[in-house]
């Protein structure tokens, strides 16, 4: 039969060069479809004499099979190439390290609270907690600050609003964490050794004061606790907290309604070139207040002052954090501005978490 070689060449070349499945389908229809060139040739067989028909029929069938096989092979080749291209485009290196995510950072006040708590825990002090909205008896009266006492004014108290006809005792935002220790003594009795860290509130706002700040107070009551124990505990605390080999404390006589005798405590330091050094130098810096718990305060909390005695102290956590980490400005705390915190070394990713230990 004439022209089969030309047909073969045309379709096999066409198939080899087809760029997609649609082009292949077009070629299939043109060659093998009902009106395709091969099908037309098949029809021509009917007019041939039997001997020529046999040879031509066999040749046509071979060509048909060849084109069919070439179509299948090219289709498979195109599918492979498409898969390769997809694999290349969608390639993913699962061994790459993860992208670090920005995260929050522990707040200096939280960190210092943890540090202080850990140090006192080593000396046998448990943590006590109590309400931030207190009745005026726990915040003032029980602490030997009666209604007309000038200390009530000094505390710049926030009073809770009262509805008309409310007969409950007046409530305040606690001005110190001392009521927590009144509650602890009243419920646990003596002997007792607790610290009370937490938020306190005073109506005060300037460069160095904020209406909410943090205190930690400590209380140790037993049969023969003395000022000597107080001195050792505070020295031990300061040495550990400021991470120095030795500290020197100076006790200055003072007055608080809830302690007698009372002392303000200064720590030896130097202040050169804007750099504070604790434990050496010829300067003194006040860091806390303390004293022996007033017998009236023990009695108010249900502890017999003829049997029990002990010391108490109080200090500002925000101030401790500023001293230890060289933070000169309250904005670092109260605007919760991460730029400030990072500036003072509280960057998210280079900070160990509290759970990982206090290893700064």
Positions that interact with ligand 2U9 (CB under 6 A)? 178, 181-182, 215, 217, 219, 256, 258-259, 288-291, 293, 297, 312-316
Q: How far is the CB of 245 from ligand 2U9 (least distance, A)?
A: 26
* Comparison of 67 and 288: residue with beta carbon closer to ligand 2U9: 288
Identify the H or E element spanning 291.
Answer: strand 283-293
Nearest-angstrom CA–CA distance, 83 and 93: 18
Report d(CA 296, CA 303) in Å as an integer. 10
Whether 258 contacts 145, CB under 8 Å: yes
Instruction: Give min distance, CB of 351 to ligand 2U9, in A.
Output: 26
Closest distance to ligand 2U9 from the beta carbon of 290 (Å): 5
Pairing relationship of beta strands 192-201 and 126-127 according to DSSP bridges? parallel
Strand 171-173 and strand 192-201: the pairing is unpaired
User: Which residue minimizes CB distance to ligand 2U9?
Assistant: 289
Q: From the CB of 222, what's the least distance to ligand 2U9, in Å? A: 14
- In sequence order, the 6+-apart residues with CB closer than 8 A to the CB of 299 are 305
Tokens of 145: 């600050």
Residue 108 half-sphere exposure toward CB, CA atoms < 13 A: 32
Looking at the Cβ atoms of 105 and 262, the one nearer to ligand 2U9 is 262
Q: Smallest Cα–Cα separation from 350: which of 108, 99, 98, 105?
A: 105
Q: Which is nearer to ligand 2U9, 278 or 312 (CB)?
A: 312
* Residue 11 or 125 with smaller CB distance to ligand 2U9: 125
- By CB atoms closer than 10 A (0-12, 13-18, 19+), residue 71 is buried
Assigned token pair, 1: 């039969």
Helices 108-122, 227-241: inter-axial angle, 10-degree rounding: 130
Closest separation in Å from C-beta 215 to ligand 2U9 = 4
Residue 312 and residue 219 in contact, taking contact as beta carbons nearer than 8 Å: yes
The CA distance from 38 to 7, in Å, is 8
| Tokens coding 103 | 């995260």
Minimum distance, C-beta of residue 115 to ligand 2U9, in the bound complex (Å) = 17
Kindly state the DSSP code that residue 353 receives in the 8-state scheme: P
Closer Cβ to ligand 2U9, 60 or 185, answer by number: 185
Minimum CB distance to ligand 2U9 smaller for 267 or for 293: 293
Residue 66 annotated as binding site? no
Picking from 330, 96, 107, the residue whose alpha carbon sits closest to that of residue 213 is 330
Comparison of 56 and 143: residue with beta carbon closer to ligand 2U9? 143
Q: Determine contact, residues 8/44, Cβ cutoff 8 Å.
A: no
Nearer to ligand 2U9, 258 or 346 (CB): 258
CB of 229 to ligand 2U9, least distance (A): 15
Do the beta carbons of residue 105 and residue 338 sit within 8 Å? yes
Query: 159: which DSSP letter?
Result: B
Task: Give min distance, CB of 206 to ligand 2U9, in A.
Answer: 14
Please report, in range form, the residues annotated as the binding site for Mg(2+).
260
Annotated binding site: 260
């Amino acid at each position: 039969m004439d022209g089969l070689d030309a047909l073969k060449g045309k379709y096999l070349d066409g198939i080899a060069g087809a760029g997609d499945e649609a082009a292949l389908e077009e070629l299939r229809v043109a060659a093998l479809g009902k009106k395709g060139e091969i099908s037309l040739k098949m029809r021509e067989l009917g007019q041939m004499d039997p001997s020529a028909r046999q040879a031509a029929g066999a040749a046509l069938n071979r060509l048909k099979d060849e084109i069919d096989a070439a179509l299948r092979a090219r289709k498979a080749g195109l599918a492979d190439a498409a898969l390769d291209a997809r694999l290349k485009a969608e390639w993913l290196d699962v061994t790459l390290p993860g992208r670090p995510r920005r995260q929050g950072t522990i707040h200096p006040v939280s960190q210092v609270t943890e540090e202080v708590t850990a140090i006192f825990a080593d000396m046998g002090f448990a943590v006590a907690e109590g309400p931030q909205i207190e009745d005026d008896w726990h915040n003032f009266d029980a602490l030997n600050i009666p209604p007309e006492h000038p200390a009530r004014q000094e505390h710049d108290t926030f009073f809770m609003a009262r509805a008309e006809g409310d007969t409950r005792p007046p409530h305040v935002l606690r001005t110190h964490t001392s009521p927590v220790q009144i509650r602890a003594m009243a419920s646990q009795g003596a002997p007792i050794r607790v610290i009370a860290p937490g938020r306190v509130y005073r109506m005060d706002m300037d460069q160095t004061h904020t209406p909410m700040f943090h205190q930690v107070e400590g209380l140790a009551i037993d049969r023969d606790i003395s000022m000597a124990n107080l001195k050792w505990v505070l020295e031990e605390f300061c040495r550990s907290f400021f991470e120095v080999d030795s500290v020197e404390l100076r006790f200055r006589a003072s007055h608080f309604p809830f302690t007698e005798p009372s002392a303000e405590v200064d720590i030896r330091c130097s202040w050169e070139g804007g750099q504070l050094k604790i434990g050496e130098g010829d300067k003194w810096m006040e860091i806390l207040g303390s004293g022996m718990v007033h017998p009236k305060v023990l009695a108010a909390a249900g502890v017999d002052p003829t049997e029990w005695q002990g010391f108490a102290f109080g200090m500002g956590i925000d101030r401790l954090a500023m001293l230890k980490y060289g933070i000169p400005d309250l904005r670092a705390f109260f605007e919760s501005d991460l730029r400030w915190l990072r500036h003072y070394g509280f960057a998210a990713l280079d900070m160990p978490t509290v759970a990982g230990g206090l290893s700064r």
